[in-house]
Amino acid sequence: MKRMKTLNIKLLMILLISLGFIPSCSKDEKKVSPYIGNYVLDEALVAEAFNVPVTGLGDIPVAVGVPITAGVQTALLSAVSCTSADKTYVELRKNFSLYMSCEGANPLNAGTWTEVSATELLLNLNSTAVPTAPTGIVLSVSDVALNSGILTGITSVPLPKIMIQAILTAINPTLILDPSAPDIFVIKISLSFIKK
């Protein structure tokens, strides 16, 4: 009986010591970003007013809140052939690659992404994703939040003259961008994506 107690104590000690060497799952688990997933651009709005030179009128302001969704869809998602912009996915993958596709079909390698913090993402879009930028573009998206399947954030996007003209036309079809306008405008915009 005494020998049995000693054996049980020894086995208990061995068990306790061995448990100390088993790594804890909670310590070793890597956090998975909540931003991983497929998104469709829902809305893009001017987040900071800017001036645009207009023929015959001089500089006119473009106010905060002006919708520029179509222009951003064209500038950033034109590399993907899709029947509708609301079917064009921006895919943030677990391995931090960034793809664009038409509802997940024929994904196009668009670059990489980084979760800088809980409220900031860095999107490295290559020239395949943004054909108008031969070296690609880097977008720093701040004030990022994901609530009820809606991803929002603010970034500055370089838009070519043709996109600025589209914004002017949406404001007033008679406005014509002055030829002296710069080739690229860097516009601060707020973005809203729907998670699919």
pLDDT 10s digits, 100-153: 999 989 899 999 999 999 999 999 999 888 877 788 889 999 999 999 999 999
Q: What is the pLDDT of residues 40-52, one digit of tens each?
A: 999 999 999 999 9
Nearest to 33 by CA among 106, 87, 101, 112: 112
Please tell me the predicted confidence (pLDDT) of residue 83: 82
Write a three-state SS string for the chain. Answer: CHHHHHHHHHHHHHHHHHHHHCCCHHHHCCCCCCCCEEEEEEEEEECCCEEEEECCCEEEEECCCCECHHHHHHHHHCCCCCCCHHHEEEEECCCCEEEEEECCEEEEEEEEEEEEECCEEEEEECCCCCCCCCCCEEEEEEEEEEECCEEEEEEEEEEEHHHHHHHHHHHCCCCCECCCCCCEEEEEEEEEEEEC
Tell me what pLDDT residue 76 has. Answer: 66
Query: According to the per-residue pLDDT averaged within each range, which of 15-19, 29-33, 183-187 is highest?
Result: 183-187
* Domain layout of the chain by residue ranges: 37-195
- What integer pLDDT is reported at residue 74 of this predicted model? 72
d(CA 182, CA 52): 9
Cβ-based neighbour number of residue 177 at 10 Å: 19
pTM of the model: 0.77
Parallel, antiparallel, or unpaired: how do β-strands 88-92 and 58-62 relate? unpaired
The dotted CATH code for 37-195 is: 2.40.128
